[in-house]
Amino acid sequence: MDLSAVTAALESKSYEKIADICDNLMLQVAADGAAFHNDWPYAIHLLSHFYVHDINSARFLWKTIPSSIKESNPEVNAVWKIGQQLWLRNYGGVHEAIRGFEWSQGLQDFVAAFSELYTKEVFQLLVSAYSTITVEDVALFLGMSEEDASSCKCATARLDCGLCLSDAYCEEATCCDRAETRPP
Amino acid sequence: MDPLEALVAQIQGLSSSSADIARLHTILKQSDDSLRSNSSRLSPIFSLIDPSIHSLGFLYVLDAFTSTSVSNQQQAEELVPIITRFISGCSVEQIRLAPEKFIYVCKRLKDQVMLLEAPIRGVAPMFTALRKLQVSTEHLTPLHADFLLLCLLAKSYKTGLSILDDDVFEVDHPRDLYLYCYYGGMICIGQKRFQKALDLLHNVVTAPMTMMNAIVIEAYKKYVLVSLIRHGLFSTSLPKYCSPLAQRNLKPFCQNPYIEMAHTYSTGKVADLEAFVNANADKFESDNNLGLAKQVVSSMYKRNIQRLTQTYLTLSLEDIANTVHLNSAKEAEMHVLQMIQDGEIYATINQKDGMVRFLEDPEQYKTCEMIEHIDSSIHRIMALSKKLTATDEQIACDHLYLSKVGRERQRYDFDDYDVPQKFNI
């Protein structure tokens, strides 16, 4: 089974392409009739669907994974836990699921990239949805400690924090006026 | 010489130019019966002929070979790779000379992979097959429905979605269209593309029908539920272009519990709807619609919150929770946040005051993307309009249409329309 396309995409960090590559490769391999379930990188495949926000495809993929693999492979289960939290929109739970497992070498970069992307998106959501928000909630949604959240430094998110949550609870008064808090 | 050997020699010899292939085709048609009667001796032939060069010959032999029923897994295991190899290698011009045989072979492939309980094995070959058989992307082949069925069984919904984006214009058999739209609707429901699912199911329900069939009834049931999820309302009157058979008979079949559900939904009370779904759970379950029914219940919250935006400019989270029958203000906040994330509502939440302010759609229709979108829509509609005009002209010249119209006009104005009794061309 030739997984070179998948490895190449992982190395070049073109994570958004991995979902399609995996899907097409899986169909080709299945058509050839080879038994591929044991060697197939399900963890990467599932994560690639989360990366492009396609939780539905990830769910269907999970349903097709044989239960023997689900039982014997803890990493696949850990990736699925992230998926469950994404499905339930448990924003804090996603971060817990990401942190709560020792990812293997091949998966670490991918998980880190996904975590960054997700935090960035939740931050955008908070900016557009809230005019005021408590520091605890920001910490929960972004998976950070309260000091990091309240200083709006967003170190792990590495965002251009030119706009902030103008927040009566927010300690740092460097936050801008209430008026224009829409992203440019 | 053994007739089979002679045939193999001819296949090998006559597969190079189009004139030869035409001759070969005639020979093959004549030998069809002898091939079928010798079907048990055909398997060694597959190693002698090449599917890409001798496609037509291979197709005829394969058709005869698969015409015997294959009932055990071991035979299926041998047959599937042969068919797969053929489909990926065959030449398009040659197989289009015998489309019914190609379709038959592909359908046998579908049967075999289902016998082996591995529908995913058939998805890629079936996709290749339908692309090869299609004369254009607007052509709906009988293989489309089988491809979508395999995608559904193998849970490769995303792959199925890729062919649903093609606009269909030519259809070989009505049954293909029913199944294509029905399975297509199910795939779209699985990917949560409810508008597209609604369009496809609408096509099944309003398609011309000469007699009631089960596909239309099942599609109508899903149509009711998807309509509730997407639009929050359901109108029991079918459009005028529906066949009269459908207009009379669909409602009685689907009255209980689907149309009842639509009535309960319109009251706006979540508790009632939930009770209704629980009471009728086994009916929904037997139609495999229980998941969809539950999605209808959860869409009710969204519908109620959206209704609030039409009345209020700002509202407290407590009030939202009470009006929509949620348990707490925090739950209401989460619901509103999720709706903002999905783009179903425009609002800002103010946690300090516990208030939500509803906003107007910020779309200004001034961006480049929006202009491009409008431009491409205009082009599409122009192309569609041209197509309709061409079809209209075509039908106006059609023999059957003119004879029917001619006969009817007779009744009204004998002098104006000088059309003979029988319209013989």
B394 contacts: CB under 8 Å, gap ≥ 6: none
Tell me whether A130 touches chain B (CB under 8 Å): yes
Alpha carbon of A157: minimum distance to chain B alpha carbons (Å): 19
User: CB distance from B350 to chain A under 8 Å?
Assistant: yes
Point out the residue among B127, B159, B348 whose CB comes nearest to the CB of A129. Answer: B348
Letter for the amino acid at A6? V
pLDDT at A162 over 90: no
Ranking A165-169, B217-221, B324-328 by mean pLDDT, the lowest is A165-169
Chain A residues close to B121, C-beta within 8 Å: 30-31, 33
pLDDT interval class at A155 (50, 70, 90): very low
Q: Chain B within 8 Å of A23 (Cβ-Cβ)?
A: yes
Q: A83-97, A137-151, B103-117, B402-416: which range is least confident on average?
A: B402-416
Chain B: nearest CA to A111, how far in angstroms?
A: 23
Mean pLDDT of A59-66: 91
Do B124 and A168 count as a contact with CB atoms less than 8 A apart? no
Residue A5: how many other CB atoms lie within 10 Å: 14
Q: What is the pLDDT of residue A51?
A: 92
Query: What is the arithmetic mean of pLDDT over B351-373?
Result: 88
Q: For position B417, what pLDDT does the model report?
A: 53
Q: Does A14 touch chain B (CB under 8 A)?
A: no
pLDDT tens-digit map of B126-157: 999 989 888 888 888 899 999 999 999 999 99
pLDDT band at residue B409, thresholds of 50, 70 and 90? low
- Asked if residue A100 has pLDDT above 50, the reply is yes
Cα nearest neighbour of A138 on chain B: B351
CA distance B254 to B274: 19
Residue whose pair of structure tokens reads 């829409």 in the numeric block: A182
Nearest to A129 among B120, B157, B349 (CB): B349
Sheet with B347-350, strands from edge to edge, namely A130-132, B347-350, B355-358, B314-316
Contacts of A96 (CB under 8 A, 6+ apart): A85, A143
Task: Give the model confidence (pLDDT) of B39-82 as tens digits.
Answer: 777 777 787 788 788 888 888 888 888 887 777 788 888 888 88
The answer to whether B334 and B319 are in contact (CB under 8 A) is no
Any B CB within 8 A of A7 CB: no
Residue ranges of domains in chain B, CATH in brackets: 312-358 (1.10.10.10)
Q: DSSP of B334-349, one letter per residue? A: HHHHHHHHHTS--EEE
Query: pLDDT above 70 covers what percent of chain B?
Result: 95
Q: What is the ipTM of this complex?
A: 0.83
> What is the per-residue pLDDT for B420?
54
CA distance A127 to chain B (A): 9
Instruction: Give B393-404 pLDDT, tens digit per residue.
Output: 998 888 888 888
Whether the CB-CB separation of A83 and A59 falls below 8 Å is answered with yes
| A103-124 per-position pLDDT tens digit | 888 888 889 999 999 999 998 8
pTM for the structure as a whole: 0.85
Query: In degrees, to the nearest 5, what angle opens at C-alpha B362 toward C-alphas B361 and B367?
Result: 125
Taking residues B347-364, what's their average pLDDT? 87
Q: Using an 8 Å Cβ cutoff, are B216 and B204 in contact?
A: yes
Which residues lie closer than 8 Å to A128 by C-beta, 6 or more apart? Answer: A182, A183, B340, B348
Buried b (16+ CB within 10 A) or exposed e, B54-86: bbbbbbbbbbbbbeeebeeeeebeebbebbbbb
Find the residue in A nearest to B150 (Cα): A27
Contact A164, A180 (CB under 8 A): no
**CB-based contact B152:B179 (threshold 8 Å):** no
Measured CA to CA, the distance from residue B201 to residue B258 in angstroms comes to 15
Q: For chain B, give me the number of helices (H) and strands (E)? A: 21, 5
Region B292-308: mean pLDDT is: 89
In this prediction, residue B86 carries a pLDDT of: 87
CA–CA dist B238, A107 (Å, integer): 53
Cα–Cα distance, A92 to A54 (Å, whole number) = 19
What is the pLDDT averaged over residues A70-81? 89
Q: CB-CB: which of B123, B157, B348 is closest to A130?
A: B348
The DSSP secondary-structure symbol of B355 reads E
pLDDT band at B6 (very low <50, low <70, confident <90, very high): confident
Mutation for A interface: B82, B341, B355, B364, most A CBs within 10 A: B341
Closest C-alpha to A60, from B49, B34, B189, B284: B189
Show residues of chain B in contact with A125, CB under 8 Å. 337, 340-341
- Please tell me whether residue A157 adopts helix, strand or coil conformation: coil
pLDDT tens digits, residue range A26-60?
988 888 877 888 888 899 999 999 999 999 999 99
Q: Which of the residue ranges B128-132, B375-379, B410-414 would you say has the lowest mean pLDDT?
A: B410-414
Residue A166 near residue A132 (C-beta atoms within 8 A): yes
Asked if the model's pLDDT at residue A174 lies above 50, the reply is no
Residue A35 pLDDT: 80
pLDDT for res A160: 33
Assess B139–A contact: CB distance below 8 Å, yes or no: no
pLDDT-wise least confident of A108-117, B303-312, B341-350, B412-421: B412-421
Neighbour tally for B366: CB within 10 Å: 7
Determine the average pLDDT of the residues in B360-370: 86
